[in-house]
């Protein structure tokens, strides 16, 4: 079977190495969280494990557990920071599932009834806004 190797130059790997900028929200030994630059709603946050895997199927189970733990923590903070009635948690595996960045990540997106999600990975947000949103989420964790 032909397998495609993890590309260490994908954008999230660069963010983890500090080679590309991001609006960081949280970091621990095994995971990292930051604002999605093309958010589908205000407060759209991504959680990634510090492990070179394209998707959930390639991810070490210990890191999968660490990612789930961080997702729960960040989802609570995003809900509080954006006063969101609902929180969408999503994780896409493989291009046919809609994955566009090939370092595994989980989306955390605030949801309110009657407000549609913006299109996936389409429109760049204002960086000053993203910075403020990251600060709001960090404050909600304390
Ligand atoms: P997916 O389609 O599930 O692979 O999602 C990739 C997500 O990464 C999309 O929601 C993009 O908006 C987001 N994204 C792409 N490049 C960056 C970046 N440099 N910093 C933050 N988010 C990004």
Q: Hey, where are the domains in the chain? A: 11-141
Other residues' Cβ atoms within 10 Å of the Cβ of residue 51: 19
- In residues, how long is the chain? 142
Q: Is 93 in the pocket of ligand 1 (CB under 6 A)?
A: no
Does ligand 1 have an atom closer than 6 angstroms to the CB of 140?
no
For the stretch 33-69, pLDDT in tens is 999 999 999 999 999 999 999 999 999 999 999 999 9
Cβ contact 47:32 at 8 Å: yes
Q: Whose CA is nearest to atom 22 of ligand 1?
A: 36
Least confident of 2-6, 27-31, 54-58, 75-79: 2-6
Ligand 1 near 56 CB (within 6 A): no
Catalytic pick from 105, 107, 120, 133? 105
Query: What is the maximum alpha-carbon separation in the chain?
Result: 48
Burial (Cβ within 10 Å: 0-12, 13-18, ≥19) of residue 139: exposed
Pairing of strands 45-49, 24-27: unpaired
Rounded CA-CA distance 95/47 in Å is 19
Query: Is residue 108 within 6 Å of ligand 1 at its C-beta?
Result: no
Alpha-carbon distance of 4 to 120, in angstroms, equals 24
Please state the atom number of ligand 1 nearest to the C-alpha of residue 44. Answer: 10
pLDDT at 1 over 50: no
| Nearest atom within ligand 1 for CA of residue 90 | 3
- Fold of the domain spanning 11-141: HIT family, subunit A (3.30.428)
Ligand 1 centre to CA of 140 (Å) is 23
pTM of the entire predicted model: 0.96
105 is catalytic: yes
């Amino acid at each position: 079977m032909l397998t495609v190797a993890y590309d260490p130059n994908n954008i999230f790997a660069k963010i983890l190495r500090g080679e590309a900028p991001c609006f960081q929200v949280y970091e621990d030994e095994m995971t990292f969280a930051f604002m999605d630059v093309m958010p589908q709603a205000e407060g759209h946050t991504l959680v990634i494990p510090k492990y070179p895997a394209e998707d959930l199927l390639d991810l070490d189970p210990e890191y999968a557990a660490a990612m789930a733990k961080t997702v729960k923590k960040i989802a609570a903070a995003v809900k509080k920071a954006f006063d969101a009635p609902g929180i969408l948690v999503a994780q896409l595996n493989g291009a046919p599932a809609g994955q566009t960045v090939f370092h595994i990540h989980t989306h955390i997106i605030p949801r309110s009834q009657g407000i549609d999600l913006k299109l996936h990975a389409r429109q760049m947000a204002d960086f000053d806004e993203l910075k403020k949103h990251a600060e709001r989420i960090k404050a909600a964790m304390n």
